[in-house]
A = this chain, B = another copy of it.
């Protein structure tokens, strides 16, 4: 379910957070379901437990999962809506990104085409 791209310059713990976010958004990780344990994921990914822990701590902080010490970590009830709200809050950055493309002379139609493709790709999965 999780995997690490060791080539990526993205930090391992960030890759894990983004994947969890994606899995939750896609409904592959549902509210109340257990996350893999820190240790098991550490072994299966060949990553130090501390790194997994760091990712889980971050996900907990964002409200996507909650941890019950002694029991494990679980997907939060409202995880999916939290993800959506986070994205809504990022729309300002999307605006800035679009502005930079506009300033660089990239036609809006070309930008929109990429957006269309992204949305279509996701809808195809659903």
Contacts and interface: CB of A to CB of B under 8 A. Distances in A.
Of the four ranges (under 10, 10 to 19, 20 to 34, 35 or more), the interface on chain A belongs to 35 or more
A84 interface: yes
Count the copies: 4
Nearest to A125: B103
A40 interface: no
A120 to B, nearest CB: 8
A41 to B, nearest CB: 18
Contacts of A100: 21-22, 25, 87, 118
A6 to B, nearest CB: 6
Contact of A104 (B87, B111, B123): B87
Contacts of A84: 104-106
